[in-house]
Amino acid sequence: MIDHKTLEAQIELSLAKLRAQFGDTAPAVAVVLGSGWAGAVAQVQGAKHLAYSELPAFPQPRVEGHVGELVVGTIGAQAVVMLRGRAHTYETGDCTGMAGALRTLARWGVKALVQTNASGSLRAHNPPGALMLISDHINAPQRSPLVGEPGSERFVDMSAAYDAELRRQAMQVARAQNMVLTEGVYVWALGPQFETPAEIRMFAAWGADAVGMSTVPDTILARHAGLRVLGIALMTNMAAGLSAEALTHALTLQQAAASSERAASFLGAVVASLADLESLK
């Protein structure tokens, strides 16, 4: 549970650092880079870097492939702040790890959060290397980062957690690139162990199309902070029981790396296209 007084002080210090480093006007778009998506940083023009260690409200990533820094600049006409690393609930058991970071960004003036991740596919039409827009999610552990929050704002409406306009924009980019992009439901599994084949069969019966160990707590926090959310999942493997492969974190990173150039290119095009949306200006 969050110590609100301490977190508030950390947010204020982090906000002051962001304003001193990058100015009072925040980029409208923030992007959380999951495994396989780090290459998108190369598309940021005029990039300025700031380590999470200089931002008290931000987490210190403990997972291989997560660097722990902000990158601020532009992609096309769109100003953007990229987060190279996120907190995962399986690291400490605490699902509030991104609360300080996301609330700092929202208070700075960020309007939309683009979440990316590496996922296991539950559907044959989304093989490893495929990209999927997240249309909805299932919180399988039924853990909430809003437990203990005061006031009626904690009762966040999640009926449209993943913004329809942002999803349409991403689909337009995919069509312009003649790229296959599906939409589907992401199910959050706590981890860090991978799922069993029986669990995957259950998730598929629930209507899930992809499974992973992140994103959902951050989406809840983002919606609570008033941020619009777009989610894009990179399939790095078929989920347990759907292929003969043994699942390991090394395999996830290896397959994410194999698809990273294509994923990063698409992500950059999506971010650039958001400059056309009047609702983000």
What is the residue range of 241's domain? 4-280
Q: How confident is the model at residue 3 (pLDDT cuts 50, 70, 90)?
A: confident
* pLDDT tens per residue across span 129-180: 999 999 999 999 999 999 999 999 999 999 999 999 999 999 999 999 999 9
Which of 123, 227, 146, 242 shows the shortest CA–CA distance to 194? Answer: 242
Q: Domain of 114: which CATH number?
A: 3.40.50.1580
118 catalytically annotated: yes
Active site residue 126: no
Residue of 88, 132, 222, 240 with catalytic role: 88
pLDDT-based confidence at residue 247 (cuts at 50, 70, 90): low
Is 265 one of the catalytic residues?
Answer: no
Assess whether 49 carries a catalytic annotation: no
- Dump pLDDT digits (tens) for 30-47: 999 998 898 999 999 999
Residue 52: active-site member: no
Query: Total domain count for the chain?
Result: 1
Query: Out of 237, 259, 260, 273, which one is annotated catalytic?
Result: 237
User: Which of 90, 171, 243, 275 is an active site residue?
Assistant: 90
Told to judge if 35 belongs to the known catalytic residues of this protein, a careful annotator would answer: yes
Q: Which one from 8, 135, 249, 265 is the annotated catalytic residue? A: 249
Calpha distance 104→55 (Å, rounded): 10
User: What's the mean pLDDT when you consider all of the chain?
Assistant: 93
Closest CA to 238 of 133, 130, 136: 130
Q: Looking at 66, 82, 233, 260, which residue is catalytic? A: 66
Please enumerate in sequence order all residues whose Cβ is within 8 A of that of 54, keeping only pairs 6 or more positions apart, or say none.
17
Does the annotation count 214 as an active-site position? yes
If you count DSSP H runs as helices and E runs as strands, how many of each does the chain have, helices first? 7, 9
Q: How far apart are CA 17 and CA 201, in angstroms?
A: 47
**What pTM did the predictor assign?**
0.94
DSSP string, 158-208: -TT-S-HHHHHHHHHHHHHTT---EEEEEEE---SSPPPHHHHHHHHHHT-
